[in-house]
Amino acid sequence: MAEGMVKVDGQIVNQNVLVSGKNIIQVGAKTGINTPVKENTRIWIYNKPRGCITSHHDPQNRPTVFHHLKQLGLDIPHIISVGWLDYLSEGLLILTNDGDLAQALERPTYKIEWQYRVWAFGRMFNSDKLDKMWTGTMIWGEKYGPYTIEVIKRQSTNTWMHFKLYSGKNNEIRRIMER
């Protein structure tokens, strides 16, 4: 999140801080979200592995994030993910037991920046293609983007990029990369 987005007891937090149920935590102070976290609100960061889904139940019986959490001993009845990563993706997820907080963090109107490190097969990313991705594109009548994209590394058979976006549609980055 952008600098100044988190406050504890009215003070901007720029480093890790120990908090308890007595502290008031605000997320989005610069964007106007200004949603005080309830006293019983809990927030977790979970490193989702590839090969599980961000869902409570899966009709295909694939492993889920919440099944993994129960295996780790975190058996809280109501945990919500803020956003999600698909089955093939891995990375950090924010989890909470506060639905209002989750909704506030997910709203595109607040322009909270989400960052992804993306691997793509091939060296096909020339300046013209990157320009099209930066400005956004239409796919099946729906607008995707704009994005901030930085090429991190080019290799003979693949390219690593750093994506920044402010909202996330289902498989958005995968669809952009396929396009």
Indicate if the alpha-carbon torsion angle 138, 140, 142, 146 is positive or negative: negative
Catalytic option among 58, 75, 86, 128: 86
What is the mean pLDDT of the segment spanning 128-138? 77
Cα dist from 76 to 43, 71, 80, whole Å: 12, 12, 10
pTM, two decimal places: 0.65
pLDDT tens-digit profile of 96-117?
988 888 888 888 777 778 888 8
What pLDDT is recorded for position 65? 92
Return the structure tokens found at 29: 């102070």
What pLDDT is recorded for position 30? 39
* DSSP helix/strand/coil, 91: strand
Residue 36 has pLDDT above 60, yes or no: no
Query: For residue 165, what are the β-bridge partners?
Result: 114
Q: Does residue 163 contact residue 147 with C-beta atoms inside 8 Å?
A: yes
What is the mean pLDDT of the segment spanning 52-66? 92
Q: Does residue 96 contact residue 43 with C-beta atoms inside 8 Å?
A: yes
Give yes or no: 131 in active site.
Answer: no
What pLDDT is recorded for position 48? 92
CA distance 118 to 13: 29
- Measured from the Cβ of residue 113, the count of other Cβ atoms closer than 10 Å reads 11
- Give how far the C-alpha of residue 86 lies from the chain's centroid of Cα atoms, to the nearest Å: 11
What is the mean pLDDT of the segment spanning 30-46? 64
